[in-house]
Structure formats: C-alpha cells, structure tokens
Amino acid sequence: MEISNNAVVGLTYELKVSRELEEIESAPFSVEVRDEEDPFYFIFGQSGLPEKFETLLSGKKQGEIFNFTIPSVEAYGEADDELIMALPKEQFTQERGFEPGMLEEGNFLPLVDENGYPMQAKVLKDLGEEVLLDFNHPLVGFDLHFEGEVFEVREATAEELDHGHVHGEHGHQH
C-alpha cells in the first residue's frame, strides 16, 4: 500500500535542523530520533505537520527510505513577533499545575488554548510580576532535514478517521 490520504503511516527517522544566520548556514544538528522502539504514527492528511512533509512522503511504501529537507519557509516559517507576549505570573499557580521552577528562562510551558488544545510556550525572560513568553513553534526559522524509513502503511479504520488520530499499539488509547 502506498502512502495516500487517510492511510495510517508509521515512520522511523532522524530530524536535524539548521538555519541561515547572516548569510552563513549552520551545520544541521539532531533534535529528534524516532526508532523502531518508538516510531512516529499519524493519519496522512491529518498530521498537523507542515504540508510539504506530507507531500514529500506521498506515494512511498513500507520499507522505502526517505531523505529530504524542508526549508523554513515551507516548514514553520519565521518567528511572529505578535506571538511573543508578557503574561502575569499570577496565572501560573500551583493550583493550575505549575511548579515554581517551570517559569525559568528557556523552559517550555505546557499550556492549553481556549478550545482545550495543547500548546506550549517558551519562557524568554522573567520580568518581575510578568513573564515574557514565546508562543511560536519551537522549530520556527529552522530548515528541517528528515532521514528515515517508512515503517508501516495501512488503511485507517473508520474510528481512527472519525477521531482524527491513530489507535492501537502505536496510537491513542481510549
């Protein structure tokens, strides 16, 4: 079976990132490895990943190797200054599940948006009564270098399509 819309896809890969700074490109460095012990599974067409990622995997079959780079403009784009904001520290209490050390510079805060979807923000700076947070995707501004193998391709079940995620051993458990 080929990777196509509504197929369940399992991948093993290494993700490296790089960026151009002042006309000098940095050497790619590894940020994530998904191996046979922990493959990455998603429903093709519903991954939430950059569209180019799925386009470059389309038509591949189980056992095929892939190696491609997605430039930042086709991945997560450039940083949006409007997604950097100062919020009152009083919003991050222990009653709401936050520990004092979580507000340290460089940490990522696990948050939930107004619709209940998980999101995260990077702590940029402690401003005293407020904390400066960056809600941009952590890989914004980076070129993404994927090298891996198609671990599995199968038809998604009606329930998986209805729920929008993979079930079973490598997916969501209800």
Residues of the chain with CATH 3.10.50.40: 7-75+141-163
**CATH assignment of 7-75+141-163?**
3.10.50.40
| Averaged pLDDT for residues 59-79 | 96
Per-residue model confidence (pLDDT) at position 152: 95
Judge whether residue 167 has pLDDT over 60: yes
HEC string for 98-162? CCHHHHCCCCEEEEECCCCCEEEEEEEEECCCEEEEECCCCCCCCEEEEEEEEEEEEECCHHHHH
The more confident residue out of 20 and 94 is 94
Q: Which residues contact 41 (CB under 8 A, 6 or more apart)?
A: 8, 9, 10, 11, 152, 166, 170, 171
Residues of the chain with CATH 2.40.10.330: 81-134
| Averaged pLDDT for residues 109-118 | 86
| Averaged pLDDT for residues 96-116 | 89
**CATH assignment of 81-134?**
2.40.10.330
Judge whether residue 153 has pLDDT over 90: yes
Judge whether residue 148 has pLDDT over 60: yes
Beta partners for 148?
A: 13, 66
The more confident residue out of 173 and 3 is 3
Per-residue model confidence (pLDDT) at position 170: 67
pTM of the predicted structure, to 2 decimals: 0.81
Candidates 109, 159, 113; CA nearest to 138 is 109
Lowest mean pLDDT among 46-50, 87-91, 139-143, 156-160: 46-50
pLDDT in tens, 17-40: 998 766 666 788 999 999 999 999
Per-residue model confidence (pLDDT) at position 143: 94
